[in-house]
Amino acid sequence: MGKVHALWTLDGLHQLDEATVLQALADKQPRVRATAIRLCENFLKSETRGHVLAKLMEMTAEREPFVQQQLALTLGEAADPEADLAMAKLLQQAPDTEFMVDAVVSGLFGREASLLENLVNDGASNDQLVATLARCVFTSRRKADIEKLITWMASSKKSSALLDGVAATSLRKPVKLAGEPAELKQILDKRAARLASLLVWPGKPGVKTEQPLAPLTKQQQGRYDLGKVLFTGVCAACHQMHGRGLDGVAPPLMDSEWVLGSEQRMVRIILHGLTGPVSVRGKTYRLDMPAFGSFSDEQISAVLTYIRREWEHGAAPVEPGTVKVIRATTADRHEAWVQDQLRAIP
């Protein structure tokens, strides 16, 4: 399955042959184009892969935002350097769209820095694109990649473009590095202060040392590991591995007040689903989350332990016993929760 959930399309559409799908890529209706793009993922493992990919890469002039978003995700699914470049081109068309940055970070998932490295080494590459990809690398919060980025900022032909990217980056909280990057002092530019404001490290002047988190017990760590597997297989299709959600598909889990808040509410969301307007980090979503009541108590506690500790979260793990009790007390419930009902539960 692709990275955007299968509910977007009817199962029957999967039976469509390649010629029909490729033809639909040029359809007048954006929804049809987006669906056709996603269906192309079915052919990326077949021997006609090259042909399908070529057709997708011809679509970088697409203007409709949600079609661009699907194109970025599908090109990312191909995991191919040329497709990555096509995705970069697409990003260049919509460089200021926050959700395209998210879609590209989802699509590239881990390949942002290597794509950027190619562009940094190629003096002729477009500065705006370099800046936007630098923003993607920061947005991914991957520490090793951010450290590489700082090295390129200190000494590369593209350092000014990279610093522009940093100036346009806004993070909800700074990225925690293990120590002060040595190259930071070599960046003699007024944008360096902005860069430093996006980072913290132990001993950084003006930064309070945090209480270290209580480590997970061996059993809780086992649940976290299982939770990661479940999250990857089930939840990431909508919420994305990076936890920042996807426009029109699912809200963010990273820094979500729901994820970090009451475990009573969290367990209920997983058991029965969630519908209607829900406010997450100050933004309202009007979507539907399916129920996962078929998960065992152990599985629910695992996936919740994972999302409460991933993405630098520090919320308490959830025990299977808690899930068991809530499952029993809500046994009569068959419909999804709405946020006001959940808010009434402590």
Binding site for ligand HEC (CB under 6 A): 5, 7, 234-235, 237-239, 250-253, 256, 258-259, 266, 269-270, 274-276, 278, 280, 285-290, 292, 303, 307
CA distance 164 to 47: 42
Nearer to ligand HEC, 54 or 229 (CB): 229
- Backbone CA torsion sign across 41, 103, 7, 31: negative
Tokens matching residue 255:
């820094």
Our CB check for ligand HEC shows the closer of 206 and 282 to be 282
Least CB distance to ligand HEC at residue 115 (A): 28
**Quick one: 267 exposed, middle or buried, by C-beta within 10 A (0-12, 13-18, 19+)?**
buried
Give exposure, 188-227, as e/b (b: 16+ Cβ within 10 Å).
eeebbeebbeebbbeebeeeeeeeeeeeeeeebeebbebb
Single out the residue of 34, 191, 170 nearest to residue 98, CA to CA: 170
Q: Shortest Cβ distance from residue 247 to ligand HEC (Å)?
A: 11
Closer to ligand HEC by Cβ: residue 74 or 132: 74
Q: How far is the CB of 326 from ligand HEC (least distance, A)?
A: 14
Q: Which residue, 131 or 307, is less far from ligand HEC as judged by CB?
A: 307
Q: Least separation, in Å, of the C-beta of 56 and ligand HEC? A: 24
Closest contact distance (angstroms) between CB of 183 and ligand HEC is: 36
State the Cα–Cα distance between residues 270 and 282, nearest whole angstrom. Answer: 22
- CB nearer ligand HEC, residue 151 or residue 341: 341
